[in-house]
Chains A and B, each alone.
Chain A
Amino acid sequence: MSQTDDRHPMTGNRMSSDEAAGTAPDRFGGIEQHSYDVIVIGAGGAGLRAAIAAHDAGARTAVITKSLLGKAHTVMAEGGIAAAMGNRWKEDNWEVHFRDTMRGGKMLNNWRMAQLHAQEAPERVLELEDWGALFDRTEDGLISQRDFGGHRYARLAHVGDRTGLEMIRTLQQRLVELGIDVFMECTITELFKTPATAEPSRISGAFGYWRETGRFITFEAPSVILATGGIGKSFKVTSNSWEYTGDGHALALRAGASLLNMEFVQFHPTGMVWPPSVKGILVTESVRGDGGILKNSEGKRFMFDYIPEFFKAETADTEAEADRWYDDKINNRRPPELLPRDEVARAINSEIKAGRGSEHGGIYLDIASRRTPEFIRKRLPSMYHQFKELADVDITAEPMEIGPTCHYVMGGVEVDADTQASPAVPGLYAAGEVSGGMHGSNRLGGNSLSDLLVFGKRAGEHAASYAAEVADSRTGLDPAEVKAAEAFALAPFELDGGENPYTIQHDLQLNMNDLVGIIRDGAELQAALEGIEGFKERAKRLSVEGHRQYNPGWHLALDLRNMLIVSECIAKAALEREESRGGHTRNDFPGPNPEWGTINLVLTINEAGDGVTLTRQPLPVMPEDLKTLFDTTGAAK
């Protein structure tokens, strides 16, 4: 399209070789070349926050995104941003938030990340307000905070139930204000490193293609921040969009980094179940935070039957106490509907399996009988809209039908808590869902958006300072590697009559959903792994029709490789971890095992590059002063 114009119409960026002409006249055979200090892959909350931080730290920064700017999956986040600002409850502070986060993650979190997160989240939220975000307000004019599962106090800064949209728009507008370059609809397929001879081998750049034209593009950059989100598209029933193919996880693996605790996949308890085309789409936890309750087909409020020992002390055991809690949190305990997500998802799963499910195989989420229509429309406008338009259900008059949906992966790239840098690959950073450790075995609602902001900023700053450190020793990209990346990307066009990528994707999604789902079993996991091996074989013979210009079949063919390797990581780690904890539940090993409570599972790519290797690694130990938080307030509240 823009062959005659040297600026890309979408981004205004200069196209192709003229920029780098002085140093590298067309070394890569006409492939567009760019050079930056920091490139950020992904334009969700973490990516945008990282780019802003890197820019503020003086780095020449670019954001590369598979979609248009502002469409990232962060817009789907509904409930809010968890930050102990104390606007509603002055008793709230970072220590309580830290404790909630660790307990929600069943103590498998990286304590340092959880600490930084709880300490820095409030300022990150206030920053958004400086940049134009319009949060809902308290009566005193401060940012309002709402209740959410697993949080001791009303803590989530929110805008109705579209907080993610507010966050992405605010960051996007800030990005535009700062003039940061954005490469939209551009997919990265490879990371490059400096030759192994130049010790230590570090990040040198990335290779990708414009979705729009199919033309290739290279980035020379000493720092790469992965902010690609999660892996949900490998599952059939998911709240995630097509983008969630685990690109960042796979790029990191192939670059030599390690992934942490990939067995922990969060199934959100409340996804839509009807009609089929929207199955899996998220129903925000705010429905329960604002008074919604779960009922089975017998009309019973069943969550009282599923309060685990671990949370008994802080959970209401009568409906009366649970209902009082919304107004008086000091003297009452939380309703069981607001237990952490893993507990609620398992409970719903059990009810459905026991035959007490709803008409379309879910259970009922009822707010209509508990709050006025005005309250519901005011607090949950997008939910009202979503059910009205997609399911023809008026949530102010009738209950919603909901069931668990694959939502989030707690596992991810292993990073240093303070810098978000991969210990194995200098120059590689990861922030947000693609990074691992922060949420342990289960993430609390609202902790994701704050995670994006806190660690996005940290990643951006440290990536920028690393880029400055190595500014004098940048070597450029190796033309041979660029050629190889190009050849690999084009391979699906070479073969006629091979496998259809859509079919393999579909089979993989079923395989993961059925065998690596919410309740797991050793034999099934084994079968899942065998299935994945089969898909890997089939994926070697992919073919796609048409040409390179905006060809979704081809794009899927390239993403499929990432989905496969990430799925293998999940299944492998799930088979290894012989206990049930947080987002990982084993039929054959019910309940948590204290020995496993100190072990992280780490995955790296194998020698041949066609599979993954798993090792055990001890969990970092929390310092004594933080441990005391759990002694004094832990069991009591």
Chain B
Amino acid sequence: MSYRLKMRLWRGDRSGGELKDYQVEVSEGEVVLDAIHRVQATEAGDLAVRWNCKAGKCGSCSAEINGKPRLMCMCRLSDFEPEETITVTPMRSFPVIRDLVTDVSFNYEKAKQLPSFKPGPRDADGKRRMAQIDVERGQEFRKCIECFLCQNTCHVVRDHEENKPAFAGPRFFLRYAELDMHPLDTHDRVELAQGAAGLGMCNITKCCTEVCPEHIKITDNAIIPLKERVVDKKYDPLIWLGNKIGIRNKDNDGRTTA
């Protein structure tokens, strides 16, 4: 079963651009990226698009399809009516380079600002021991394929360019949460997350979770727990009282904020 698909693709660069109409033959089981490739191979050889694995594992082909941030390789044409026109634009939170390709260097800059994993020494036999239940939360976050759709859809930077310097974004809150929950890390990252990463700017409207192609529960499992850890540290009356009378959670022993 094949049909002619109507598409509107954004063509242009930093100096300007517009949605242009294309029609290509597509067949059953294909995804938006297939259609884009066919446009490229038949009608517009210079159509810029970033992609790699085409299996939802590398997170390269992020774009906005009918206004929704998605991976082009995981967006099946069968989700649309055959007569429907599919509009594809580049991610709208990052500077555009050309056509569907954006400059995502914001994310790489943010990655550099994050203090890395700091473990203590290995066990005597040269190995490390961690219980499966202690690594599971972090493993969920490490499923992240860095497609940056969460960063793109987060209104804190999408609608407010001026917030970019002070806001790390959901992808890096995942990373803060992963390290803060790591059973062997020696670095307390709560203050950093609240301060340098701008955790407080997040108003937990959950769009990052909605667009995550890996279905990571970014808000519920990473951002809110981080916010709660900030509260633990700064605003909880019982913990404060406990500390005063010498009842203390020893789980964080050995961690430093330095």
Contacts and interface: CB of A to CB of B under 8 A. Distances in A.
Query: Are A and B in direct contact (Cβ within 8 Å)?
Result: yes
Interface of A: 1, 9-12, 67-71, 73, 75-76, 85, 126, 129-132, 134-137, 140-144, 159-160, 162, 165-166, 169, 173-174, 176-177, 184, 212, 241-243, 274-278, 281-282, 381-382, 385-386, 389-391, 500-503, 506, 544-547, 549-554
A501 B54 CA distance: 20
A73 B131 contact: no
B99 A70 contact: no
Contacts of A136: 132, 135, 139
Interface residues of B, number: 66
A281 B31 CA distance: 14
Given A281-B55, A389-B56, A390-B74, A137 B130 contact: yes
B180 to A, nearest CB: 13
Interface in B83-121: 95, 97-99, 101, 103-105, 108-109, 111-112, 116-117, 119
A95 to B, nearest CB: 19
B139 A160 contact: yes
Contacts of A140: 129
B124 interface: no
26 contacts: A1-B97, A11-B108, A71-B58, A71-B59, A75-B58, A132-B119, A134-B135, A136-B132, A136-B135, A141-B132, A143-B127, A159-B142, A165-B143, A166-B142, A173-B111, A212-B101, A276-B28, A276-B30, A500-B45, A545-B44, A546-B45, A547-B46, A550-B98, A551-B45, A553-B46, A554-B46
A491 B105 CA distance: 31
A399 B30 CA distance: 21
A81 to B, nearest CB: 15
Contacts of B144: 169
Contacts, number: 186
Given A1-B103, A275-B28, A502-B41, A242 B52 contact: yes
Nearest to A386: B55
SS of B interface (majority) = loop
A129 B74 CA distance: 31
A142 B143 contact: no
Contacts of A274: 29
A160 B139 CA distance: 9
A68 B60 contact: yes
B53 interface: yes
A126 B103 contact: no
Contacts of B117: 131-132, 173
B29 A275 contact: yes
A75 B46 contact: no
B105 A553 contact: no
Given A276-B30, A277-B30, A552 B105 contact: no
A144 B48 CA distance: 42
A159 B139 contact: yes
Given A71-B59, A276-B29, A553-B46, A165 B182 contact: no
A277 B57 contact: no
Given A169-B146, A274-B29, A385-B214, 9 more contacts: A126-B128, A140-B129, A176-B111, A276-B27, A277-B29, A500-B41, A503-B41, A549-B97, A551-B46
B134 to A, nearest CB: 8
Given A9-B105, A165-B145, A550-B48, A241 B129 contact: no
A373 to B, nearest CB: 17
Contacts of A71: 52-53, 58-60, 146
Given A9-B105, A73-B53, A241 B139 contact: no
A9 B119 CA distance: 32
Interface in B15-74: 27-31, 33-34, 40-41, 44-60, 74
A75 B45 contact: no
Give the top 10 A-B pairs by smallest Cβ distance, nearest first: A275-B29, A546-B46, A553-B45, A141-B129, A132-B117, A550-B48, A177-B116, A502-B41, A137-B132, A550-B98
Contacts of B33: 277
B119 A126 contact: no
Contacts of A243: 52
B119 to A, nearest CB: 6
Contacts of A68: 50, 60, 104
Given A141-B131, A177-B116, A212 B97 contact: yes
A382 B57 contact: yes
